[in-house]
Chain A
Amino acid sequence: EAQVTQNPRYLITVTGKKLTVTCSQNMNHEYMSWYRQDPGLGLRQIYYSMNVEVTDKGDVPEGYKVSRKEKRNFPLILESPSPNQTSLYFCASSPSRVAVAGYTFGSGTRLTVV
């Protein structure tokens, strides 16, 4: 089944403790992206990647890092999480730079930083 898999689904952590949220797609998509969803703000893009080793900042990149060493994986790294990064995170992928078919989203990761 074609899908985007995120792990974990839920995560509670403490301020400053490094964490990684994994994202993997099995559709051979070139384009991958991370969003955070907050009430009243919709989805905001954190980082995106147009292919292996090609990443760029989205609208809200502060406090996040990403890497794209393999086409299928696009992990989101929080080096020193803070409470304002408490949010619902979605990974998405699409076949190409122009997302003709729309994006496929993962199931989300609900992160709480205390």
Chain B
Amino acid sequence: AQSVSQHNHHVILSEAASLELGCNYSYGGTVNLFWYVQYPGQHLQLLLKYFSGDPLVKGIKGFEAEFIKSKFSFNLRKPSVQWSDTAEYFCAVIYNTDKLIFGTGTRLQVFP
């Protein structure tokens, strides 16, 4: 079955630390990949997306993600996190259809 896994459920970092959140998806042919962010009490917002081309994708607020096809992964990275990055992060995949499948989310807490 098509699925998305986010292995880090809760990540705690200090400001200026580097961030990498894992995302793996099950094999299913052509995929479109997304990272969404949900700030406390708010709706989901698109951080970045990958459809084709350069596997290193840059998004908003200094985030980037790398698509590694051989590993079925699309990990999210940021070199230096800020307190304002405290949020929940969702990886999501579309497999050849219009259905967006979400991972279970990773809660990030950044302390000053």
Contact = CB atoms under 8 A, between A and B. Distances in A.
Q: How large is the interface on A (under 10, 10 to 19, 20 to 34, 35 or more residues)?
A: 20 to 34
Given A43-B90, A98-B94, A106 B43 contact: yes
Interface string B92-105: 00100011101111
Of all A-B residue pairs in the complex, the 6 with the closest CB atoms, nearest first, are: A42-B104, A102-B46, A43-B102, A105-B43, A97-B98, A105-B44
26 contacts: A31-B98, A33-B100, A35-B102, A40-B104, A42-B90, A42-B104, A43-B90, A43-B102, A45-B99, A45-B100, A48-B99, A58-B99, A90-B43, A98-B32, A98-B98, A99-B32, A99-B98, A100-B51, A102-B36, A103-B44, A105-B44, A105-B45, A106-B43, A107-B42, A107-B43, A108-B43
A50 interface: yes
B36 to A, nearest CB: 8
Q: How large is the interface on B (under 10, 10 to 19, 20 to 34, 35 or more residues)?
A: 20 to 34
Interface in B55-112: 90, 94, 98-100, 102-105
A102 B49 contact: yes
Nearest to A6: B43
Contacts of B45: 105
A94 to B, nearest CB: 8
A42 B102 CA distance: 7
A12 interface: no
Most B Cβ at <10 Å: residue of A33, A43, A48, A105: A43
Contacts of A50: 98
Interface in B6-41: 9, 32, 34, 36
